[in-house]
Chain A
Amino acid sequence: MKVLRDLFRDYRFCFSFGVLVIILILAFLSNFSPYDPTLWNVVPKDTKPSVQYPLGTDSNGQDIFWQATYAVRNSLIISLIAASVSRVIAVLVGMVAGYTRGNTDRILMFVSDGLLVIPLFLILVMLAMMVRQHMSLVVLGLMLSAFGWAWDARVIRSVILSLREREFTQTAILSGTGTLKLVLNEYMPFAMPLVFSTLINNISWAIGLEMTLALLGLVDVNIPTLGTMLNWAIIYQSMFLGRWNWVLTPVVISVLMFIALYWLSVSISEYLDPRTRIQRVGAQ
């Protein structure tokens, strides 16, 4: 496709694309894991990487490689749930507030500002401690999404506010277009790059936050995620004991993911930016 070809010119996109393809393959491979990730002692403990155990094994008696595939899969699930649900909320709130203005706008922004100001971490810790028993991937994802929309809602709202003053809004109204269709058809193309890049940033944010919570032991540590793997590795003092294969696996994977996600968001939003799109239209 022409779009992909244009995107591949950007080295950042190439790198991100490559890394993310590998990550997705890893996540997919988790379906073929010969071991059940929640069990202990399925393999000999603390072995070095070998042909049989590609990344070695950990102190729980799990194969690190296959554990990592599950970890990646679960982290992705959590963050995707968190990011997409919060996008939906942010777009809805932003659009309604930006277009209707007046009192609805004030109430929505009040709520949004409140969420921004509240110290997020403390609330999350509290909530996590309360729901720890029932903490599953989905629950964690939804919890994170409730806090991830506030900033972006405001950004989308300001985009809508400025678009409302443009003359093409009047042209659309004179063409008889109703409010909902107007907002979707006229404003979404401007808001898309924003929504997309904030989606990707949100994924990064969610992974990071999950890892933080996991390190504090506030999630169900039996479910393998990048955070819980790191948590276990630290509990077992793997850094002091020189078991680098265990500690470094989640660290390297998450660092690569953060870089890839960042570069992906930057290159795609540059591509989707209305100003460069308008330039490209002439080039065709």
Chain B
Amino acid sequence: MNETVLRTEGLKAFYVLDVFGTQKVVKAVNEVNIEIRENEVYGIAGESGCGKTTLLKALVAAIEPPLRLIGGKVYYCGYGKEIDVSSLSAEEKRRLRWEYISYVPQGSMSVLNPVMKVKETYRDFIESHVSGKTREEAYEIAGRQIVELGLPRKILDTYPHQLSGGMRQRVTIALAALLRPRIIVCDEPTTALDVVVQRGVVQMLRDVQKYLENTIVLVTHDMGVQANIADRVGIMYAGKMVEEATTERIFGRPLHPYTQYLINSLPRFGDKTTRESVPGSPPSLIDLPSGCPFHPRCPYVLDVCTKQMPGFVGLEPNHRVACWLVGEG
């Protein structure tokens, strides 16, 4: 089993909003305990609005108002030490960003500066993290990395708007991987892309991971993409992690009713039999149901489910579920 690189303990992060006098508290991440290991691709799946993006923000220590860290801790681990992220100063956080952990946010095709050529953005990056490189050296580093990752060298001399969406996404991923971070966190990297382009982006992510032998945390609601690239998958629902296992187990033997619905609702080629979506709609994170948040939609709901939230227990190694039906919870 590989070493842990990132760990959360009882993480709680809520949005506290004040709109014209009324206060709304959005419980986006509601007690999450996960351990992400070295040299793996960890996927986080779930419907939109389940809190995945907020979890990512907490992992990269990008918590800003109205998002507040209400409880729990995030630890960066390595070389036998553990650092509590909330104890870092702003300067330390800035240094760790891109060098230890980098973040590819959603819609990151728009992250590139539209008035600078790609090589200038690279130079900017390199100069703010590595001192003592001249302009030419910076371009050289950029060129080498681009070619290593299988992208054509000439894109360095183009402006972002001249590239297609898929190419921009890959450039952003290349930028995130530039300083060889131990963890790369991607939020929905393939959502707005076409099927063929999506395949190219996922291919590139796999290349980056093999090349750097680091960890990739990939958030997407597309289970097909998760199946194709993730080693382990965590399923989030209403701010909580409800199941976590290796990809084979999640798709082959899902235990949580929500995961079962999720897997069975996906259309498959060669099979035109009727499939059903998860019935009902996801709960509002402001007004969560009591006990287990899935109980209003669960076909196997028990009385205890409406009263108490089950614990996130591991029955078998590498397979944890939060459900009263499985184990004593």
Contacts and interface: CB of A to CB of B under 8 A. Distances in A.
Q: Verify that A and B bind, or say they do not.
A: yes
Interface of A: 6, 9, 276, 279-280, 282-283
Interface string B57-70: 00000000000000
Report, nearest first, the 8 A-B pairs whose CB atoms are least far apart: A283-B22, A283-B19, A279-B19, A6-B20, A280-B20, A280-B19, A9-B21, A283-B20
Interface of B: 19-22, 24
Contacts of B20: 6, 9, 276, 280, 283
Contacts of B22: 283
A198 B21 CA distance: 27
Nearest to A284: B22
Contacts of B19: 276, 279-280, 282-283
Chain B interface helix/strand/loop/mixed: strand
Contacts of A280: 19-20
12 contacts: A6-B20, A6-B21, A9-B20, A9-B21, A276-B19, A276-B20, A280-B19, A280-B20, A282-B19, A282-B24, A283-B20, A283-B24
A182 B308 CA distance: 51
A283 B284 CA distance: 13
A283 B19 CA distance: 7
Contacts of B21: 6, 9
A279 B20 CA distance: 9
A283 B22 CA distance: 7
A6 B21 CA distance: 8
B19, B20, B21, B24, most chain A CB atoms within 10 A: B20
Contacts of A9: 20-21
Nearest to A271: B20
Nearest to B284: A282
B24 to A, nearest CB: 7
Contacts of A279: 19
B21 to A, nearest CB: 6
A283 B26 CA distance: 12
A6 B20 CA distance: 7
A58 B22 CA distance: 53
Contacts of B24: 282-283
A276 B17 CA distance: 13
A282 B22 CA distance: 10
A2 to B, nearest CB: 10
A212 B21 CA distance: 42
A69 B21 CA distance: 38
A68 to B, nearest CB: 37
A9 B24 CA distance: 18
Nearest to B24: A283
A283 B21 CA distance: 9
Contacts of A282: 19, 24
